[in-house]
């Protein structure tokens, strides 16, 4: 079976840097509290009307350039996000239009912080089966506009940043490429990390009452997220290793979803590796949800943290709860 291979990876973050000191002016919080609980020192937020598809286009251009692929040669677009420009349709069709691509298939995938790993799994199936030769996979989020920057909502407000990452997948011509993907979910945790409204559960699906009740802002049960994340990340990393008969020594780098530095440190401890083997850029970008893994891959590659022939493992955990991993030979 032909493997799929990531031939290009790129990212984009908005220019505006929001430091912990900036947040101290908006709510009762401190740099010390944020750094101690999350490791985050700063994040990037969009200005004016920049949307997820705008960031996605920039990341996609960088990924296509590295892959030496022209926009008109892309055969499928998968856009992973929970902050699409509009309620419907998804942002994938805006990528098609803005980048002047042919009338190819384009759809959004909503698996929150696991979105990119889920999307990679879907893209991998299309390439491996021969259905498509070039798939553009994007993870892009503008979370800052859904946050409320006050003391009541400070637990969420300090964590998230905006950004986008993109990958171009094509058939591999050797043993390198996506070795495996594993996906999981447990819907009983739906309300531990969610943004309830608007939605088809309500009559009408959007109303002043929903807003007055605060249902348009995200909610997180932080302790439950932490407890599950530090169990599921190690499980799914081990699943990737076992499936490919790899040991931790065979792996150059683990790239987890950048949820929170404390979660990554706890995961590193549980799987018995040092933080030098677990990539982290959450300190300067915050949690960018579906964008965090492709941004981290793009940065880690340009920093020389992995290269040709190296095995890397991507691992994600997020709302749903959903979680998953991908093993890749670069």
What are the residue numbers of the active site? 113, 257, 287
Backbone angles phi, psi at 178, to 5 degrees: -75, 115
Rounded to a whole number of angstroms, the minimum distance from the CB of residue 44 to ligand ACO is 17
Residue (35 or 93) nearer to ligand ACO, CB: 35
CB 236 within 8 A of CB 199: no
CA distances from 87 to 82, 107, 200, 210, 321 (A): 10, 13, 12, 16, 22
277-296 positions binding ligand ACO, by CB under 6 A: 287
Rounded to the nearest whole angstrom, what is the least distance from the CB of residue 228 to ligand ACO in the complex? 9
Q: How far apart (Å, rounded) are the C-alpha atoms in residues 32 and 221?
A: 21
The size of the interface with ligand ACO (CB under 6 A), counted in residues, is 24
Site string for ligand ACO, 162-201 (x = CB under 6 A): -------------------------------x--------
CA torsion sign, 30 to 33 to 38 to 41?
Answer: positive
For the segment 29-88, give every residue that binds ligand ACO (CB under 6 A): 29, 33-34, 37-38
Decide if residue 264 touches ligand ACO (CB under 6 A): no
Q: 284: which DSSP letter?
A: H
Q: For ligand ACO, which residue of 44, 45, 154, 329 counts as binding (CB under 6 A)?
A: 154
Query: How far is residue 188's CA from residue 205's CA, in Å, rounded to a whole number?
Result: 23
Q: Which stretch binds ligand ACO (CB under 6 A): 88-96, 129-137, 142-150, 257-265?
A: 257-265
Find the part of the chain contacting ligand ACO (CB under 6 A) among 49-57, 183-191, 255-263, 301-309: 255-263
Structure-token pair, residue 328: 């890749």
- Report residue 134 as tokens: 């070039």
- Interior CA angle at 299 toward 161 and 326, to 5°? 90
DSSP secondary structure code for residue 2 in this structure? P
Interface residues with ligand ACO (CB under 6 A)? 29, 33-34, 37-38, 113, 154-155, 158-159, 193, 220, 222-223, 225-226, 229, 259-260, 262-263, 287, 317-318
């Amino acid at each position: 079976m032909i493997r799929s291979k990531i031939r290009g990876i790129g990212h984009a973050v908005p220019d505006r840097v929001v430091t912990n000191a900036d947040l101290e002016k908006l709510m009762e919080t401190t740099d010390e509290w944020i750094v101690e609980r999350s490791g985050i020192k700063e994040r990037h937020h969009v200005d004016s009307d920049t949307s997820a598809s705008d960031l996605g286009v920039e990341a996609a251009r960088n990924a296509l350039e590295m892959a030496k692929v022209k926009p008109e040669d892309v055969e499928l677009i998968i856009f992973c996000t929970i902050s699409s420009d509009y309620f419907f349709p998804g942002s994938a069709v805006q990528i098609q239009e803005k980048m002047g691509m042919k009338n190819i298939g384009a759809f959004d995938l909503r698996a929150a912080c696991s979105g990119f790993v889920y999307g990679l799994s879907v893209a991998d199936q299309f390439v491996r089966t021969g259905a498509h030769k070039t798939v553009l996979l994007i993870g892009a989020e503008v979370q800052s506009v859904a946050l409320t920057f006050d003391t009541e909502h400070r637990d969420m407000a300090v964590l998230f940043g905006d950004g986008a990452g993109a990958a171009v997948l094509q058939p591999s011509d050797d043993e390198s490429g996506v070795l495996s993907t594993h996906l999981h979910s447990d819907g009983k945790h739906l309300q531990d990390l969610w943004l309830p409204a608007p939605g088809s559960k309500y009559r009408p699906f959007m109303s002043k009452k929903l807003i007055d009740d605060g249902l348009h802002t995200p909610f997180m049960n932080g302790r439950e997220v932490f407890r599950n994340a530090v169990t599921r990340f190690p499980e799914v990393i081990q699943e990737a290793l076992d499936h490919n008969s790899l040991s931790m020594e065979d792996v150059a780098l683990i790239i987890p979803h950048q949820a929170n530095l404390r979660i990554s440190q706890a995961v590193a401890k549980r799987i018995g590796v040092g933080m030098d083997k677990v990539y982290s850029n959450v300190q300067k970008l915050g949690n960018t949800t579906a964008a965090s893994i492709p941004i981290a891959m793009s940065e880690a590659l340009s920093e020389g943290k992995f290269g040709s022939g190296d095995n890397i493992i991507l691992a994600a955990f997020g709302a749903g709860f959903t979680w998953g991993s991908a093993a890749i030979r670069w």
